[in-house]
Amino acid sequence: FIPKAEGGLGGAIIAKDRLGNVIPARQILAEPTGTRALVAGLAGEPTYLTLLENNTLDSVGIVNNCTHLGCTFPWNEIDQQFQCPCHGSRYSVDGAVVRGPANRPLKLVHVAVQSEVILISPWTEIDPRTNEVPWWV
């Protein structure tokens, strides 16, 4: 049995822009360290990728969908938090809740660079922030 996946990538999809165009990995990797780059991820969900030192990507992506009522939110560089404009929820760099009304951490995905593209795949393992099965699984 071979699971159906885009291009046979085993459940992973290729990161795209809002218009559905594939984003070249080199374009994202050229961003400064600390940048949160927004791409269309699994099922088109807006997903933050984090630029690390030496032009590498964090292997953990954070889905831009507030766990309170689903608003999208910006990254606040000064506070080093994701801050939801709808009702004031705040999340730390790893997507854990810092302030409600949200009471669940942000959804995670796996991120990997493979040759010229960025692959995003589902996170189904234990959530490292809660040490429990993720709420979205």
Give me the residues that bind ligand FES (CB under 6 A), please: 66, 68-71, 84, 86-89, 101-102
Distances (CA, A) of 45 to 30, 71, 94: 23, 12, 18
C-beta of 69 vs 133, nearer to ligand FES: 69
Least spacing, CB of residue 61 vs ligand FES, in Å: 19
Least spacing, CB of residue 124 vs ligand FES, in Å: 24
DSSP of 38-84, one letter per residue? EEE-GGG-EEEEEEEGGGEE-SEEEE---TTT-----EETTTTEEE-
Least spacing, CB of residue 86 vs ligand FES, in Å: 4
CB atoms within 10 A of CB 90: 17
C-beta of 64 vs 121, nearer to ligand FES: 64
63's tokens: 């889905």
C-beta of 69 vs 126, nearer to ligand FES: 69
Q: How far apart are CA 130 and CA 46, in angstroms?
A: 23
Least spacing, CB of residue 48 vs ligand FES, in Å: 15
C-beta of 16 vs 104, nearer to ligand FES: 104
